Chains A and B, each alone.
Chain A
C-alpha cells in the first residue's frame, strides 16, 4: 500500500482548491477519485489528452487495410467471375473494409483503456467506497515527516476527513 494521506471532500471546489495548492507546492503523483468525470477536477490536475485516440486510429486503419487486403487477396487466390465484375472489385469490398474499420477501431479503443487505466494503472493506492457514491477522494503520497503539513493543507482547503494510509 502506498504511503500518504487519503482525504475525502464533499465540495468539488474545495477538492479542486486542494489539488491546485498541492500541485503549486510541487506535489506529484496525486490520485483523485470521483463518481463521475468532473471538468473542474480535470482542469486542476492539468492532464494531457489521453493517448487512447492514437490507438483508436491505429486500430481503425488496421481494420480498413485488413478488410481490403483480405477481400482482394481471397478473390485472387481463387479467381471466380461473378456477375461480370472484375475479380477484385473495390466497391463491394468497401462494405467489408468499413465494417472491419469500425470493429478493430472499437476493440482497440477498449483495449487501450484497459491497458492505460487498469494494466498500467497504479496499484496499492488506498480507496474508500464512498468515492463511487457522492464524495471526492484525494490521495496525496507523502513521507511521514511531511504528513502533518499536507494534512493541514487538505483540512484548510475544506476536506471533510483526512486519513493516514
Chain B
C-alpha cells in the first residue's frame, strides 16, 4: 500500500500492539486452563440459585400464579419486570459487537465476545419469563402461528405477538452472531488442545482452517450480520416498549417509550458488562487485554451517554405528564414520586439519572472499584425502573376505589434469584470453555512481522 494511506483504524494508540500473534493465542487459550476453586464455588452458587428457581417454578406449575401475588388491578409484576430487565441487559452486547463494529471502534475488540455471550444468555433468560408469567406454561406455543384445531391464527395487531417475533428473532440472530464469530477462534484453540477437548473443538470448529477463501466469505458475512443486527437491536427494545406504549395505561402511553427503552436497555446492559468483566479479567488473568484506562474508560463514556439520555427521558416524562393536562397521567406521575411506591421511584431516579453523572470524571471511569460500585447501582436502578413503570402504573386504576398495591412474594424473589443463577451458570460455563476474548479480531489489530520492517 502507498505511503499516503491512512493508518489502519484499529491500530489505536499503542493498545495491544506490543503483543505478538502467538502471545494472543497463548493468553486466550490460557483462560481455558482447569478451573480454580473460586470459579467452582461461583459455579456452584449459580447452580444453587438456579435450582431454587426450578423449585419455585414447580410450585407455580402445581398451584398456579396466585403465589406470585397477582391481584386486581395488577396482573403484570415481577416476572414482566424481570423479563424487560433481562432483554435490556442483552442490548449492550449487540451494541458493542455489531454497532461498534460498523463504527470501526477499536476498543470493542477485547470485550465484545464476553458481551455477546452475555447477550445470548440474557435473552435466553428473558425468554423464560413470558412463559412463566402466562400461568399455563404448557400451552405457550399458542402464541406461535401454527395450523391448529381451532382454525385460529395469532392476532398480529397485538404488540404481544410482535414481541414473540422480536425476542425469538433476537435470540436466534444473536446466537448465530456469537457462534459465527467463535468458529475461527475455536479452530485456534483446537490446534493447541489435545485429547477429548481437541475432539470437541474439532467438531465445533466445523472444519475451519483459515484459508483465504474462508476469510473472503467470512469477512463479508460478518459485516452483513453486523449490519442486520444493528437495526435489530434498536427494534427489539422498541417492540418491548410498545408492549406498554400501545396500551392506554397512564404512565405507559407515551411516544417517547421506544428511544427511552432502547437507551435504558443499553445503559443497563453496559452496567452488567462492567459488573461481569471486572472480576472476570482478574480471574482469567487477562488484565493486560482489557485495561482500565482504555476499555473501561470507553465503557464508562457509553454509560454516561445512555445514562444522560435516561435522565432527559425521566424529566421529559414528568414534563409531558404535567403539560398534558390529563389528570390520570398527572396522578400516576405524582404517585411515582410521592405515592406508595415512592421508594421504588426514587431508587430508579437516583441509581440511573444521578449516579451515572459521576462518570463525567475520568478518575471515576478509570477506577475499577468506583466503576464496579456504580455498575451495581445501575443493575439495581434498572430493575427498579421496570418495576416502577409496570407495577406503579398498574396500581393506579382509573377509579381510585380500585387502586391497590402489590408486594412481591417469595415466588417472585425465588424466580428472580433463579434467573440470576441460570444466567450466571451459562456465562461461567462459557467463559471456561470458549475463548472469552476474540483471538482472531485481536490478531487483526496487531500488525504481522515484516521482512522489510515498517507497517503495511
A, B from the same assembly: yes
Interface residues of A (CB under 8 A from B): 10-14, 30-43, 45, 47, 49-50, 52-53, 56, 60, 70-71, 74-75, 77-78, 80, 82-83, 85, 89, 92-93, 95-96, 98-100, 102-103, 105-107, 109-110, 112-114, 116-118, 121-122, 125, 127, 129-134, 136, 158
Distance A11 CA – B225 CA, assembled complex (angstroms): 31
CB pair B213 A117 closer than 8 Å: yes
A56 to B168, CA, bound (A): 19
Query: Smallest Cβ distance from B219 to chain A, in angstroms?
Result: 5
CB distance from B166 to the nearest CB of A (A): 6
Q: How close is A125's CB to chain B, nearest CB, in angstroms?
A: 8
Asked if B153 and A35 sit within 8 Å, CB to CB, the answer is no
Q: Write 10 A-B pairs (CB below 8 A) sorted by A numbering.
A: A33-B209, A37-B215, A37-B219, A49-B220, A50-B219, A70-B145, A102-B235, A109-B221, A109-B228, A158-B451
Q: Which residue of B lies closest to A82 (CB)?
A: B157
Asked if B212 and A92 make an inter-chain contact with CB atoms under 8 angstroms apart, the answer reads no
In the complex, what residues of B have CB within 8 A of residue A95's CB? 162, 165-166, 235, 239
Known: A103-B172, A105-B228, A132-B209. 13 other contacts (CB 8 A): A30-B212, A35-B439, A36-B21, A36-B440, A42-B212, A82-B155, A95-B162, A106-B172, A106-B173, A110-B176, A113-B221, A117-B216, A131-B210
Q: How far is the CB of B155 from chain A (nearest CB, A)?
A: 6
- CA A116 to CA B221, docked complex, whole Å: 11
Given contacts A95-B166, A117-B214, A133-B21, contact A110 B209 (CB under 8 A): no
Instruction: Give a binary string over B203-244; 1 marks a CB under 8 Å from any A CB, 0 the rest.
Output: 000111111111111111100110011011001000100000
- Find out whether the CB atom of A102 lies under 8 angstroms from the CB atom of B443: no
- Collect the chain A residues with CB atoms within 8 Å of residue B184's CB: 35-36, 132
B157 and A89 within 8 A (CB): yes
Q: Is the interface of A mostly helix, strand, loop or mixed?
A: helix
- List chain A residues, Cβ under 8 A from B207: 118, 121
Across the interface, do A32 and B212 meet the contact criterion of CB distance under 8 Å?
yes
Which residue of chain B lies nearest to A41 when distances are taken between CB atoms in the complex?
A: B212
CB atoms of B220 and A53 under 8 A apart: yes
CA distance A95 to B1 in the complex (A): 45
- Indicate if the CB atoms of B151 and A134 lie closer than 8 Å: no
Which of A100, A109, A129 has the most CB atoms of chain B within a 10 A radius of its CB? A109
Chain A: which residue is nearest B174 at the CB level? A106
Q: How many whole Å from B136's CB to the nearest CB in chain A?
A: 22
Of the candidates A37, A92, A100, A102, which one forms a contact with B444 in the assembled complex, judged by CB atoms under 8 Å apart? A37
Q: Are the C-beta atoms of B211 and A12 separated by less than 8 Å?
A: no
A102 and B219 form a contact (CB under 8 A): no
Contact A52 B221 (CB under 8 A): yes
Within the complex, the shortest CB–CB distance from A148 to chain B, in Å, comes to 23
Residue with the highest number of chain B CB atoms closer than 10 Å, among A14, A37, A78: A37
Contacts of A33 in B (CB 8 A): 209-212
Taking A102-B228, A106-B173 as contacts, is the C-beta distance between A117 and B218 under 8 angstroms? yes
Say yes or no: B173 contacts A92, CB within 8 Å.
Answer: no
CB of B298 to closest CB in A, whole Å: 22
The answer to whether B220 and A78 touch across the interface, beta carbons within 8 angstroms, is no
Given contacts A95-B162, A98-B235, A85 and B157 within 8 Å (CB-CB):
yes
> Chain A residues near B228 (CB, 8 Å)?
56, 60, 102, 105-106, 109
The minimal Cβ–Cβ distance linking A96 to chain B, given in whole angstroms, is: 5
Q: B12 an interface residue at 8 Å Cβ cutoff? A: no
Residues on A with beta carbons closer than 8 Å to the beta carbon of B162 = 92, 95-96, 99
Cross-interface CB contact of A37 among B22, B218, B439, cutoff 8 Å: B218
Cross-chain contact of A103 among B151, B158, B173, B443 (Cβ < 8 A): B173
Residues of A within 8 A of B191 (CB): 129-130, 132-133
A75 cross-chain contacts in B, Cβ below 8 A: 153, 156
Judged by a CB distance under 8 angstroms, whether B188 is at the interface is: yes
Question: Is B129 at the interface (CB under 8 A from chain A)?
Answer: no
Given contacts A50-B221, A129-B192, contact A99 B444 (CB under 8 A): no
Q: Please state if A102 and B212 are interface contacts (CB–CB under 8 Å).
A: no
On chain A, the residues within 8 Å of B220 by CB distance are 49-50, 52-53
Task: Provide the residues of chain A in CB contact with B212, threshold 8 Å.
Answer: 30-34, 41-42, 45, 47
Closest 6 CB pairs of A and B: A129-B191, A134-B21, A74-B153, A12-B448, A11-B451, A36-B443
Q: Is the CB of A35 within 8 A of B165?
A: no
Interface contact A106-B145, CB-CB below 8 Å = no
The answer to whether B217 and A106 have CB atoms under 8 Å apart is no
A136 touches B187 (CB 8 A): no
Over the window 159-170 of chain B, the binary record of Cβ atoms lying under 8 Å from chain A Cβ atoms (1 yes, 0 no) is 001100110110
Contact of A131 among B20, B177, B209, B448 (CB under 8 A): B209
Nearest chain A CB to B206 CB, angstrom units: 6
Q: How far, in whole Å, are A31 and B216 apart by their CA atoms in the complex?
A: 12
